[in-house]
Amino acid sequence: MLGEDVSNDKCLDCHEVLKKRIDQGKGYHVSREVRGKDCASCHSDHFGRDFEMVRIDEAGFDHRLTGFELTGQHQQIDCRQCHTSDLIVDNDVKSLKNTFLGLGTDCLSCHEDVHQQTLSRDCASCHTTEAFSPPSNFDHNTTRYPLKGQHQYVECIACHRMEQRNGKDFQRFTNISFQKCTDCHRDVHDNKFGQNCTECHSVRSFRVAGYTRNFDHNMTGFRLTGQHQYVDCRQCHKVNFTDPLPHNRCASCHSDYHRREFVKNGASPDCKDCHTVNSFSGSLFTIDMHNEGTFKLEGAHLATPCFECHKKTTRWTFSGIGERCVDCHEDVHAGYIDEKYYPYQTCESCHTVNQWQENHFDHSLTNFELAGAHLDQSCMACHGADDIDHSNRYENFQNLSMECAGCHVDEHHQQFEKEGITYCQDCHSYDSWSSVQFDHNKTDFKLDGEHEKADCSACHKEVEENGETYVFYKIESFECIDCHQQ
């Protein structure tokens, strides 16, 4: 009747497409926000031909009410990028203008199928709305080729190549052979080992050093032992693994560290004569082998570590290091001992190889033969310099005085000096200082009677002179009263 409101049924009699969706329980008009409202509460009429009856607050519109929630990158897209007549899939809606109806909800209703129907239409099984690439929902382990070892870190494009199909870029993900390694990898061995790469290699690493070896190198003519077990194959097999390599001598692979020092008759011995494959450091060279050479190890040399002689610089040296003592040891006597006692600096003239302190020099070759207590003295007791810091302690081996006073203090204060020389041996022996062989009867006072029984100290008293005390022997007066009281 005139003046009454227009019913919803009247509206939907014309808007058949919308009525169909409402009857199906789909879309925004069946959401909790709209359900039960009159059409006229949102869509007013009779305001002129230019009045926009469909008014939406696009910025605040909750798209979830439509049944299609916007997530990820969909949230950043302008409404009209999707709501366009080109993307409407419902033929009944396609003829309408300015409508938001008729769009599909599956990905391919809006997006191009870049896989060209070679994969499932369920794009969400691999991709998310956050980003098309990488396909974060995809799990390669659910395929017939689970990724293991180093395959987990290979870029997809390395196996799934780009090509042209139907005039467009196309990345192949199906119909890829993977039954054997050479379907993807080049056979660097030219089929000399067959096509079953896993007999030698693992997916953990093609270069097997540091990983469990599958290939049994002992099947070849060179058994891997010691440190050879841990060498990267490529260090020896630099080109092809099947190329024959010389391996009968260590020098076939290893450079001569010793720079031909051991060459004899134009040939070097093999490294294995001294070294093992367990470690290059250390040597099989024994003392007996050393003693077959030009320098026999004896005495203290037996306890000397090899590096003391053979590693004087940053590298080991075994030839041209000398055989004489002075080639290794400092000659502390150079210039201080007459060459006739050690010609050509021959230390063996005095010393032994047992220890430096041992000495077998024949002192009788000099003008001073050792006797008595002198035989028990060390060389340095007489020949050692008396300077406090011993900076020149080895200089005192020539031009030494042979007089007793040259080494010993004259305790008698020159009382027995004759023409400037005191002959200690007239009274003392070399065996002991206390052993006295003095004959008093050869003096100006011959002992007889009771005098023969008197102790020396009864007549020869101690005197003090210039702060020093000594026994006075040179008595010049022999009157009885000089010694005896009246």
Segments forming the whole domain that contains residue 411: 406-483
User: Is residue 383 situated within a structural domain?
Assistant: no
In a domain, 58, yes or no: yes
Identify how many contiguous H helices and E strands the chain contains and give both numbers: 12, 6
pTM: 0.50
Please report, for residues 22, 65, 343, the alpha-carbon distance to residue 34 in angstroms, rounded to integers and kept in the order given: 11, 9, 124
> Residue 336 phi/psi, 5° resolution?
-120, -5
Backbone phi, then psi, for 322, in 5-degree steps? 95, 160
User: Is the distance from CB of 123 to CB of 111 less than 8 angstroms?
Assistant: yes
Is position 82 within any domain?
Answer: yes
**Using an 8 Å Cβ cutoff, are 333 and 397 in contact?**
yes
Q: For residue 87, what are the CA distances in angstroms to 42, 106, 118, 171? A: 26, 12, 22, 25
| pLDDT lower than 70: segments of the chain | 1-5, 46, 207-213, 385-391, 486
Number of residues that make up the chain: 486
Among 105, 138, 171, the domain boundary falls at: 105
- Cα(174)–Cα(146) distance, integer angstroms: 14
pLDDT of residue 195: 85
Indicate the burial class of 239 (C-beta count within 10 angstroms; 0-12, 13-18, 19 or more): exposed
pLDDT tens, position by position, 331-349? 988 888 888 898 889 999 8
Q: Report how far apart, in Å, the C-alpha atoms of 318 and of each of 191, 261, 286 are.
A: 48, 7, 14
378/357 Cα distance (integer angstroms): 9
Q: What is the pLDDT of residues 44-85, one digit of tens each?
A: 776 777 777 777 788 888 999 999 999 999 999 999 899 998
| pLDDT of the residue at 296 | 93
How many structural domains are present in the chain? 3
- Type of residue at 123: C
At residue 240, the pLDDT reads 81
Looking at the domain assignment, is residue 338 inside a domain? no
Of 394, 427, 395, 396, nearest in space to 411 by CA = 427
Domain edge (last residue) among 284, 302, 323: 323
A 10 A CB-CB count for 21 gives 19
d(CA 189, CA 201): 13
Q: Which of 374, 408, 380 is nearest to 396 (CA)?
A: 380
Domain membership flag for residue 378: no
Is 1 among the domain residues? no
Query: Given CA atoms 130, 132, 133, 135 in this order, what sign does their dihedral have?
Result: positive
* Residue 398 placed within a domain: no
Q: By C-alpha distance, which of 258, 255, 236, 234 is closest to 245?
A: 236
Q: Sign of torsion, CA 185 190 196 201? A: negative
Instruction: Give the residue from 292, 323, 354 where a domain finishes.
Output: 323
What pLDDT is attached to residue 290? 93
Confirm whether 251 is domain-assigned: yes
Place of tokens 């369920």: 122
Nearest to 237 by CA among 224, 212, 226: 224
Rounded Cα gap, residues 471 and 411, in angstroms = 9
Burial label, 262 (beta-carbon count in 10 A; 0-12, 13-18, 19+): middle
pLDDT for 432 equals 84
Q: Which helix (H) or strand (E) holds 464?
A: strand 462-465
Q: Give the containing element (helix H, strand E) for 162.
A: strand 162-165
Closest C-alpha among 121, 101, 102, 124 to residue 112: 121
Tell the residue number behind the tokens 């003239």, with chain if given. 349
